[in-house]
Amino acid sequence: MRLRLACIALSVAVVGLVALWVLEPRLHHTFPSMIDDWSAISNAPDQLRTVLTLGNPERGRYRPGFIAWNALQWHTLGAPQSFVGPQLWNGFRVLTLIVGLVLLAGLLTRGGGGAEATPRFTRCLLITSVPLSIVTMPALAVDLARFGPQEPLLVGCMCVGSVLLVVALDRVLAQWKSSLSTAGLAAVGLAFWTFGVLQKETSLSLLVLAPFLFPTACSQRRRWERLDRRRRLAVGFLGGATLLPFVPVLVGTIQLVVAADLVYDARVEPGRGLIRDMWTQLAQADDTLSTPVVSLMSLGAVVTVTLVCVARSVDWISIGLLAAALVTMTFAAESGVVTSRYYIPGVALAALALVRSASELGRRVALLMAVGLVALGCVQAPFARERVGSWADDERFQETVVREAAGRMSGGCRVDLTGRNTELVAALPVLVPLTDEKPHDCAEGERFVVVIDGGVPGEPTSDEDPVLGDCRPKEEVAKVGSLARIMLCSAY
């Protein structure tokens, strides 16, 4: 047990240090993003009140856990005025993902004859390879640097919760004497599990895994038969409490589907269908995540799971993991958007299936797979760090627009907003009060318009725009690359 805990601690420490190095450029940028962060700052408290009354404050989405996280991240520990709180909460989010993947990989590679033959060092390397290969994917590293994506919490919390619940169940079946410690494990596990399930609708994908767990449950029949009435009730409670968080998510998702109120106003085009959209998601995975590791990992998982089923016996759990990974692509395809964060659950499930099946194929295969994944993680880590640095530079670019506007506003100038990038236009007045920009000198009656067009395709905002037309621009006094321009209005 001590060696097992030492392996887990070592794996978490190694991956945590690599993740810290990859994400370090983000730590030097301490201003909220004009993408997502501004919305959480502005809307999370009111949205949380709606969630606590069992309502859904968002159109096209059902994600109460994510709303609760936004309120926690941006309205505690001095936030949003202080950036310390969001940085600490994001560190917790990344650590939860790493710990969850390590724990679940350790659990999945524990049983079976093949796992018994796997040397402890190789097994430790295997469970390290799962989070290492994921957090070093360049696009996913940016998703971890950003505060908006909820997929890391979904995966991390559900992984931690599932492991603790399995350990608690195993203690009940083994008639563990310390019921207090078992209840504590179950309570903490349920808290993590519930928070993960409630992050977003994609958590429903894990329900696909349930039938594939049935053979494993049947193999424990003798242990079930020895349970007394009190422990049977405990098992029933654990099962019911595990499924309960899915109820509101399922109801909320059905309501959105019935109302045709889909995320990002997505609609499946006639003649296309979800199958083709799913294929698009899969085909674009490497380009979207900026690494070939996704295809290698997915192909490796399919091959090794097939080999285990042919050479040894049908591994229902590994098949279930791959099935659940495929279903996550259904949720991504339904959105009509191809973006890196949507791949996180599927990539995690594929990686877990890969290491589980590799551990069943003997020492050489397990060692080869572990070394290969660790090597790939190490190779792509510098690219991930560089990608995070580029993203942080873009964030500073956006911050410049906020500060240019804030300086003129604090100097007494009237500043109006317009532009084709509607999210950045909406974000600017939310973020301006968080700056401490030195006031610009403003002449009496001086007026400006900030035009934000960057980040969206199409022609720049024309002079016929109502805000620009009312301004009758006199000259351009500032320009932040192709992102925004600040126009001085004519006297009126």
- What average pLDDT does the segment 378-396 reach? 95
**Do 365 and 308 contact (CB within 8 A), yes or no?**
no
Residue 279 clears pLDDT 80, i.e. is over it? no
The set of residues, in sequence order, having a beta carbon less than 8 Å from that of 146 and lying 6+ positions away, is: 33, 35, 36, 391
The pLDDT-based confidence of 112 (bands split at 50, 70, 90) is very low
Residue 480 vs residues 21, 44, 165, 168, 471: alpha-carbon distances, Å: 30, 30, 52, 56, 20
What pLDDT does 208 receive?
A: 94
> Is the sign of the CA dihedral 485, 486, 490, 492 positive or negative?
positive
Please report which confidence band the pLDDT of residue 267 belongs to, taking 50, 70 and 90 as the band edges: very low
* Nearest to 205, CA basis, from 105, 36, 347, 355: 347
- On the question of pLDDT at 37 being above 90, the answer is yes
Regarding predicted confidence, which is higher, 80 or 278? 80
Res. 115 pLDDT band, cuts 50 70 90: very low
Judged against a pLDDT cut of 70, whether residue 38 lies above it is answered with: yes
Given a cut of 60, whether residue 411 has pLDDT beyond it is yes
Which one has a higher pLDDT value, 387 or 474? Answer: 387
Residue 131 pLDDT exceeds 70: yes
Task: Answer positive or negative: Cα dihedral of 258, 264, 265, 267.
Answer: negative
What's the confidence (pLDDT) of residue 111? 57
- Of 54-58, 191-195, 331-335, 478-482, where does the model show the most confidence? 191-195
Render pLDDT for 200-257 as a digit per residue (tens, 0 to 9). 999 999 999 999 998 888 887 788 878 888 888 888 899 999 999 999 999 988 888 7
Please tell me which residue, 66 or 275, carries the higher pLDDT value: 66
Amino acid, single-letter form, for residue 89: W
In this prediction, residue 71 has a pLDDT band, given cuts at 50, 70 and 90, of very high
Instruction: Provide the residue ranges of all domains of the chain, joining segments of one domain with +.
Output: 2-390, 394-489
The per-residue pLDDT for 22 is 97
Mean pLDDT for the stretch of residues 164-189? 88
**pTM for this structure?**
0.93
Q: For residue range 326-376, what is the model confidence (pLDDT) as tens digits?
A: 999 888 877 777 889 999 999 999 999 999 999 988 888 999 999 999 999
What's the whole-number mean pLDDT along residues 110-121? Answer: 62
Is the pLDDT confidence value at 452 over 60?
A: yes
Token output for 455: 């980040």
What pLDDT shows up at residue 3? 53
CA distance 433 to 425: 15
Q: What is the pLDDT of residue 97?
A: 97
The pLDDT score that the predictor gives to residue 227 is 82
What was the pLDDT predicted at 113? 44
Mean pLDDT of the 399-403 span: 93
Q: What is the pLDDT of residue 160?
A: 97
What b/e readout covers 303-316, taking b as 16+ CB neighbours within 10 angstroms? ebbebbbeeeeebb
Per-residue CA distances from 123 to 64, 107, 108, 119, 347 (Å): 37, 11, 11, 6, 20
C-alpha span between 124 and 8 (Å, rounded): 7
Overall average pLDDT of the 175-183 stretch: 80
Burial status of residue 298 (CB atoms within 10 A of its CB: 0-12, 13-18, 19 or more)? buried
Q: Is 430 a residue whose pLDDT tops 90?
A: yes
Q: What is the mean pLDDT of the chain?
A: 89
Residue 26 has pLDDT above 50, yes or no: yes
Q: How far is residue 257's CA from residue 411's CA, in Å, rounded to a whole number? A: 49
Element (H, E) at 173: helix 151-173
- Are 78 and 52 in contact by the 8 Å Cβ rule? The answer is no
Between CA 169 and CA 176, with CA 173 as vertex, the angle to 5 degrees is 90
* pLDDT (0 to 100) of residue 269: 47
Among the listed residues 138, 172, 133, the one whose alpha carbon sits nearest the alpha carbon of residue 11: 133
The better pLDDT of the pair 171, 95 is held by: 95
pLDDT at residue 273 above 80?
no
Q: Averaged over 135-158, what is the pLDDT?
A: 96
DSSP bridge pairs for 475 = 488
Average pLDDT over residues 105-122: 72
